[in-house]
Structure 1
Amino acid sequence: MPKPRLAPTHSRSAAVHVRRALTLLPLLLIGAWAAADWRAVHDGVARLASANPWWLLTGLVFTCLGWVAASCVRQGALPERLPPGPLLASQFAAGAANHVLPASIGAHAVTLRFLQRRGVPLPRATASLALYSLVKPLAKTLVLLVFLVAFPDMLPLGHLVPDEWMLLLAAGGVVLGLATAFLLLAFVRPLRRPAFGLLRTAVVDARLLHTRPSRVLALWGGAAATPLLQGSVVTSVGFSLGLPLSWAQVVLALLLATTAVGAVPAPGGIGPVDAALVFTLVAFGAPLNLGVATVIGYRVLTVWLPLLPGAIVLAALVRREVL
């Protein structure tokens, strides 16, 4: 008499163990990161202890609105309608993953998994991530141009305009990236079919989405609102500490800082963006100590405060098989 097969049971048990490991992994990564960067957390909390609590609460509200804006952009980049509640929860969880892995890899991985669990085909889900990644910097550049046109006398040109070597370095980086992509497609044949298939799907979906006013508003409106909300968080923290700059100056400083070094693949942009933001705030006339304190407080509100709740939500979504 043949013995019953145990493979499905073993497979199911292994899947359960893998899922449990995935629920604990974000918490372990966050704990290691907090231990390595404990001084920044301690200094930020110490400085914020003497800040105006109402302005900090205002900054927290703008931080929460940032997740709403991210959800709008994600919905605007996809023809299928997504449930608002789980979508917002996935973006809150994606924020925690985004601060652990560089270049938004964590956030895209969480979103991709969420879309696949909602039944979105992989090519369309991947194309929506590509459209999301393209629209966000384009919208931020448009917002920056609007600020430069609206406030032409605000920009301290002598401090912030890059010299010719910096421009040549940036141009060289762009050329190198394009040349690398061309060589990969030209000489690595297995990449051609998925790359051109992704491009074809992205073009078709982009045309379809831009025939729907609701998707256009969600996509471009959410992308344009994101840097304004981030700048409002920085402004709120700065006002709580007595930063002598206006909202427009702080938002423009953030736009310039993120545009200059936003492409550096650091987790959540932490590190290069922080240094560039302190530099631009000082260039606009802020004292160095207040500029540093403002950036630390901004990171506490946008990174450290929601990090543990975001990891818990991420673990809960994985356990409930939403991700």
Structure 2
Amino acid sequence: MNPRAVTVTLNPAIDQTVRLAGLQPGHVHRAFSSRDDAGGKGINVAACLADWGVPTAALGVIGEDNPGVFSALFSARGITDGCLRVPGRTRTNIKLVDETHGETTDINLPGLPLNGADLDVVCRRLATLLQPQLPVVLSGSLPSGLPADAWARLQAQACSAGARVLLDTSGDALGAALSSAHASVPYAVKPNRHELESWAGTPLPDRSALRAAGQRLLERGVALVVISMGVDGALFMDRDGALIARPPRLSQGSTVGAGDAMVAGIAAALLEPAFELASCARLATAFSMSRLHSGDARRLDPAQVRGWTDDVLIERLD
């Protein structure tokens, strides 16, 4: 299969979702249920793209001691498995869902330590898939053992082949990928407000400040900037304009995977014959809505997405 999109996840996780009546620190709790799902930002993106019907390859690194949940996902969704297996166990991220208050508490455990040789293997596997205009999603945190510019290295490799990199990371890894020390910049970035504040080095309390920070990214050569703003929607910016997209209704419950679904929607929009900012914003927001609506199923319903796309609220900014 020649994939039409590629995702890379260097620090995946098994998401263990535990549902409780209420969460009280320092108390003993009895859970309603517990389930394990293959997770990690790029893995989630790959699953959404596959649900949308996009042939997708998932690259990255997972532990050879507990690969079952990942192998099952790849098989069920028809995702090409390009992940390197290394000794050890893939980390578990625990998500404590408070059913009474509709809140989720995340406990993210340390990931598998990697080294330069592991990154070299991922680079070689990526090289075999690259082609012009291919959406390549580099997503998530970096595990211990890899330098802050690990994403920047993969980004440079993809960009040199003419692929379009969608970067969704934070902290030093984001800073390195946007640094003038590297010859390439991502085609698109999707920080949330807090991640963008960290990169900008200053609070961004309102849409004007967020837009100014987004403009700085455009001036660095990024073609598309999408800033997640939680219940306020998302700010979409390119060189032709800016707009805010909001869902017509708010979903209840866990928001796990909502941002990753939005990234998948952006990648799907890049595969359309003609890219248009508002159309991208509608599709990405509808992807996120559908993913949230599915709850524990963690699925994207294409018919639902198509039905909801026109309902997304668009506010164009002057």
TM-score under structure 1 length normalisation? 0.23
Compare relative contact order (CA 8 Å, sep 6+) and give the higher one, 1 or 2.
1
- Structure having the higher helix fraction is 1
- Structure having the higher strand fraction is 2
Q: Which has the larger radius of gyration?
A: 1
